[in-house]
């Protein structure tokens, strides 16, 4: 029997997952792992095989496939879709089988997001409420209907049943253009979600915008710091599984700064003016038609306030700060403006 640790990673062609896989590829102990990745593109699977990972072509919505891949894994790192309930349940079922076969509780590191903390501010105010990842009582005050929560609750329930150990990473607004060999080879998406969506909307309307007055607050975190969080957690669990919290005590926020959305709009506006793409640097509120068209609603007007105390307690040391976040916006505008013209 192989003595290697079987690790399944989903979402490796994505912004977060590719950055996490790249960290594994660079580890000196890489050969002690059997890494399996699940991807939808056969071309990308082929390119990934060249990195000595086992690439399976398929969708995580394929329940029998997802279940059988999880059943072969000691560790599952899920980064594909925080909200795919069926994929999460299939993963749990597979890991339950793994436990039955080995007698050991496998590890699930799932990706959620601080979107779970959001309110209905619509950009009109900054909330006073700040969530602390080391305070499970406070996290349990969140309504079951909050974004991501249906999946997160199933995962925590599985941990309570005892057949796996669950760890949920909740990044906030991740920023920065990912840069690594997987990006260079066209395997990984290098762009994040929130700020690029605001930039694409601004490019389209010729002016930066905010939802409402943009007074709402969000935390931010650099993509390399996020990738580090996955690896720091992975190493902490393997070093001494009794140390990092799991289950209801296994929420790990990713944040190292906080901004309001007006600041983001203004930084986009400044970049647009510098590039000759807008006559004014000042953001204006998006109309209802615009928020529906560009973002499918007022999500970017919500507050999400978080402190990553548990993540820091396991040794995570994020480097980049709010100043880096704001400085990342201009290169992102330049890259997306160029891509738009191409
Ligand atoms: N970026 C952020 O700021 C942020 C912050 C907090 C939470 N999150 C959450 O983290 C998750 C990943 O975010 P991301 O920024 O890395 O997104 P992304 O770049 O769009 O990556 C998504 C990845 O999931 C894969 N995927 C999607 N559906 C799949 C399916 N049915 N079967 C197999 N693979 C599938 C995609 O594969 P393809 O290449 O085939 O499309 C891609 O590899 C999302 O749920 C997001 O909401 C993101």
- Which residue's CA is the nearest one to ligand 1's atom 33? 59
Question: In a 10 Å sphere around its CB, with 0-12 CB exposed, 13-18 middle and 19+ buried, how is residue 325 labelled?
Answer: buried
199 shares a domain with 51: no
189 shares a domain with 114: no
Residues with CB under 6 A from ligand 1: 10-11, 13-17, 38, 40-41, 59-61, 79-82, 111, 113, 171, 173-174, 189, 192-194
Distance 101 CA to ligand 1 centre (A): 30
pLDDT value of position 2: 67
- Which residue's CA is the nearest one to ligand 1's atom 7? 113
111 shares a domain with 61: yes
327 shares a domain with 234: no
Neighbours of 157 (CB within 10 A): 13
Distance 11 CA to ligand 1 centre (A): 6
Query: Is residue 79 in a domain?
Result: yes
What distance in Å separates the CA atoms of residue 333 and residue 164, rounded to the nearest whole number? 42
Q: What is the DSSP string of 181-243?
A: HHHHTT-S----SHHHHHHHHHHHHTS-EESTT---EEEEEEHHHHHHHHHHHHHHHHH-TTS
pLDDT averaged over 10-residue windows placed end to end, the chain, 342 residues? 90 98 98 98 98 98 98 98 98 98 98 98 98 98 98 98 98 98 98 98 97 98 98 98 97 98 98 96 98 96 98 98 98 96 85
Q: How many domains does the chain have?
A: 2
pLDDT value of position 342: 84
Distance 148 CA to ligand 1 centre (A): 13
Query: Is residue 103 in a domain?
Result: yes
| Ligand 1 atom with least separation from CA of 112 | 7
Q: What would the two tokens of residue 7 be? A: 């690790």
39 shares a domain with 68: yes
230 shares a domain with 210: no
pLDDT value of position 341: 86
Can you give the pTM of this predicted structure?
0.98
138 shares a domain with 239: yes
What distance in Å separates the CA atoms of residue 218 and residue 127, rounded to the nearest whole number? 10
Find the domain containing 215 and state its range. Answer: 181-219+257-305+319-333
151 shares a domain with 68: yes
What CATH number does residue 199 fall under?
A: 3.90.25
pLDDT value of position 1: 55
- Which residue's CA is the nearest one to ligand 1's atom 44? 81
What CATH number does residue 154 fall under?
A: 3.40.50.720
105 shares a domain with 95: yes
């Amino acid at each position: 029997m192989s003595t290697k640790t079987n690790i399944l990673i989903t979402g490796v062609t994505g912004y977060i997952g590719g950055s996490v896989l790249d960290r594994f590829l660079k580890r000196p102990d890489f050969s002690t792992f059997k890494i399996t990745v699940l991807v939808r593109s056969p071309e990308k699977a082929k390119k990934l095989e060249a990195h000595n990972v086992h690439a399976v072509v398929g969708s995580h919505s394929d329940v029998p496939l997802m279940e059988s891949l999880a059943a072969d894994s000691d560790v599952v790192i899920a980064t594909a879709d925080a909200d795919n309930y069926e994929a999460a349940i299939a993963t749990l079922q597979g890991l339950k089988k793994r436990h039955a076969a080995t007698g050991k509780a496998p590890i699930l590191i799932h990706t959620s997001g601080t979107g779970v903390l959001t309110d209905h501010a619509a950009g009109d105010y900054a909330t006073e409420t700040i969530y602390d990842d080391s305070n499970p009582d406070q996290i349990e005050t969140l309504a079951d209907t909050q974004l991501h929560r249906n999946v997160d609750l199933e995962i925590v329930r599985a941990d309570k049943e005892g057949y796996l150990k669950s760890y949920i990473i909740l990044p906030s607004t991740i920023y920065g253009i990912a840069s690594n060999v997987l990006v260079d080879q066209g395997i990984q998406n290098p762009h994040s979600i929130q700020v690029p969506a605001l930039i694409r909307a601004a490019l389209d309307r010729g002016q930066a915008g905010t939802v409402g007055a943009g007074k709402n607050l969000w935390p931010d975190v650099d993509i390399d710091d996020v990738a580090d969080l996955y690896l720091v957690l992975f190493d902490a669990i393997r070093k001494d599984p009794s140390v990092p919290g799991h289950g209801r005590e296994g929420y790990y926020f990713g944040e190292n700064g906080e901004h309001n959305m007006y600041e983001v709009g203004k930084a986009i506006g400044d970049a647009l003016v510098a590039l000759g793409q807008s006559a004014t640097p000042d953001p204006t509120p998006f109309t209802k038609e615009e928020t529906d068209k560009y973002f499918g609603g007022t999500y970017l007007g919500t507050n999400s306030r978080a402190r990553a105390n548990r993540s820091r307690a396991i040794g995570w040391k994020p480097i980049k700060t709010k100043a880096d976040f704001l400085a990342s916006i201009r290169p992102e505008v330049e890259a997306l403006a160029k891509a738009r013209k191409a």
